Amino acid sequence: MATHRTKMLIIGSGPAGYSAAIYGARAMMEPIVVQGLQPGGQLTITTDVENYPGFRDVVQGPWLMEEMKAQAEHVGTRMMWDTIVEVDLENGSPFRAVGDSGDEYIGDVLVIATGAQAKWLGVPGEQELGGKGVSACATCDGFFYRGKKVAVIGGGNTAVEEALYLTNHSDDVTLIHRRDELRAEKILQDRLLNHPKISVLWNKTVESFEAGDNGALSHVRLRDTQTGEDSDFGCDGAFVAIGHAPSTELFKGKLPMDDSGYLLVEAGTPKTSIPGVFAAGDVMDHTYRQAVTAAGTGCMAALDAERFLATLEVAEREAAE
């Protein structure tokens, strides 16, 4: 077990964590990024990114994250292949965190950039058939359904993008949505509704995922929200794409959160209720949740961290005099 000491400890390695690290390293805060279970975050399970500024052509999510990581390392960030399992915020700065590896991390400031994760429906069969037909990531698992019939559940940007992506592998894609209108952006809706390989089932909720004799998914049981009628929809793969929940389990009872678990910050800043602890990216933003906004709040966290450290140093100097 080792102890890693730094001025700036960052938990999470999406656009928010890496941006905080880039700014923090350039401000001589010698950041450590503890990368977590999914280094690079949600963009590593995305394909095309065409809304991150700076790239005229479409870029790939995993590539973009590799570049951000390389940039952060290039300016002096230390990356740790570890997952934080415990944090101690009670006594103020310096903050202590413990990794899955048993290593201890101590930072004068802490930036929480743990992001968000895909939500599940919580219906029978969903977890049991995980990896056997039910998935929450078309870009990860779509390939396995080459030439097969697939369904996507949800009506937001993620669901529509997943459905469009799946047409690379399947000629028979059905979007299942609980209402009669989509939440996704108009441009994505147009692409979906005009796509020859995609159909939409409106006003249907998923009641369960059912297995066939081979133990893999054979159909999805649906309920019509208008008539209450149940029906079975046969498919080989079903992709749940109903949004995300913030990864804040570690901070329960330690930092204020809203009802959905998003960390609360002072309006217009990344400051949590504990001086020296900042939150950036999807973990504190349930409204915008974009790579570019996450990067922006990561930058803000680093700038505020720098100010906090300067105040801390002045206070320590004064105390010593």
Binding-site member from 179, 215, 260, 316 for ligand NDP (CB under 6 A): 179
**Does residue number 51 form part of the binding site for ligand NDP (CB under 6 A)?**
yes
**Does residue number 204 form part of the binding site for ligand NDP (CB under 6 A)?**
no
How is 7-76 classified by DSSP, letter by letter?
Answer: EEEEE--SHHHHHHHHHHHHTT---EEE--SSTTGGGGG--EE--STT-SS-EEHHHHHHHHHHHHHHTT
CB of 285 to ligand NDP, least distance (A): 9
**Does residue number 7 form part of the binding site for ligand NDP (CB under 6 A)?**
no
Binding-site member from 7, 69, 169, 289 for ligand NDP (CB under 6 A): 289
Which secondary-structure segment (H or E) carries 297?
helix 291-320
Name the residue among 241, 283, 294, 306 with its Cα closest to residue 52: 294
Q: What is the DSSP letter of 207?
A: E
The reply to whether 141 belongs to the active site is yes
Binding-site member from 163, 242, 257, 299 for ligand NDP (CB under 6 A): 242
Burial-class residue 86 by CB neighbours within 10 Å (0-12, 13-18, 19+). exposed
Binding positions for ligand NDP, 140-169, rule CB under 6 A? 154-159, 161
Measured distance CA(231)–CA(212) in Å, rounded: 16
**Does residue number 121 form part of the binding site for ligand NDP (CB under 6 A)?**
yes
CB of 125 to ligand NDP, least distance (A): 15
CB of 36 to ligand NDP, least distance (A): 19
Indicate which residue of 141, 236, 282, 304 is catalytic: 141
Size of the site for ligand NDP (CB under 6 A): 17
Measured distance CA(173)–CA(149) in Å, rounded: 6
**Does residue number 183 form part of the binding site for ligand NDP (CB under 6 A)?**
yes
Other C-beta atoms closer than 10 Å to the C-beta of 186 total: 8
What is the contact surface with ligand NDP in residues (CB under 6 A)? Answer: 51, 121, 154-159, 161, 178-179, 183, 205, 242-244, 289
